[in-house]
Chain A
């Protein structure tokens, strides 16, 4: 068990709605990354937070936004949900100078 926890585990939303996903990072880790994994694909990098600042972003539109809190936990917010946003959303935590990231179990988002 990695110590990275995500909530909720499953979520169903309607197109156009907004969603917030949460992640508690592993103790001692100050970097949190979010990934989207569509069916049959590998995890795709959304963005990374280091000490409450966005520290890198993948090819995702601005309606994907995030926050990191002083305790290094994090939120992923997605506005104006689209059907193609249906995916497994993974959070990973690591330390600066990391050589590996530790993942949570993911949140399965279904947009209908």
Chain B
């Protein structure tokens, strides 16, 4: 039973434009949400997080938005850079971390 879902397996964006990665979840008890970035042959790297009591958290080019009523969060990257090309995993914290299946982002120079 997939409690965290990323319905877009891949996304291509032109350099300099905005990348929007989406994530949906089913469990309203999750209290923390995270985004991880993963390059091939490396472990996931923590990128940004948001508490369930907030609706937005910003860190440089990365902003995460949380819509609790829709059980939806998104990661915005602006401006996108070629080095952002990676697989992005959404995760939610309950009694463990639940991960989505990932979205492969390609930023085209």
Residues of A within 8 A of B (CB): 2, 4, 6, 33, 35, 40-45, 48, 56, 58, 90, 92, 99-106
**Could you say which residues of chain B place their CB within 8 Å of the CB of A44?**
99
Chain A residues touching B, majority SS: loop
Residues of B within 8 A of A (CB): 4, 6, 9, 32, 34, 36, 41-46, 49, 51, 89, 93, 95-102
Chain B residues touching A, majority SS: strand
| B44 close to A40 (CB less than 8 A) | no
| A102 close to B96 (CB less than 8 A) | no
Complex partner residue of A2 from B9, B34, B45, B100, CB under 8 angstroms: B45
Task: Given A99-B32, A100-B34, A105-B43, answer yes or no on A40-B101 (Cβ-Cβ < 8 Å).
Answer: yes
Shortest Cβ gap from B29 to chain A (Å): 15
Most buried by B among A33, A43, A45: A43
Complex partner residue of A56 from B34, B96, B101, CB under 8 angstroms: B96
A87 to B48, CA, bound (A): 26
| A90 close to B44 (CB less than 8 A) | yes
A48 to B6, CA, bound (A): 24
Most buried by A among B6, B32, B99: B99
**Could you say which residues of chain B place their CB within 8 Å of the CB of A48?**
96
| A42 close to B97 (CB less than 8 A) | no
Interface contacts beyond A104-B43, A105-B41: sample of 7 additional A-B pairs, CB < 8 Å, sorted by A: A33-B97, A41-B101, A42-B6, A42-B100, A45-B96, A92-B43, A105-B42
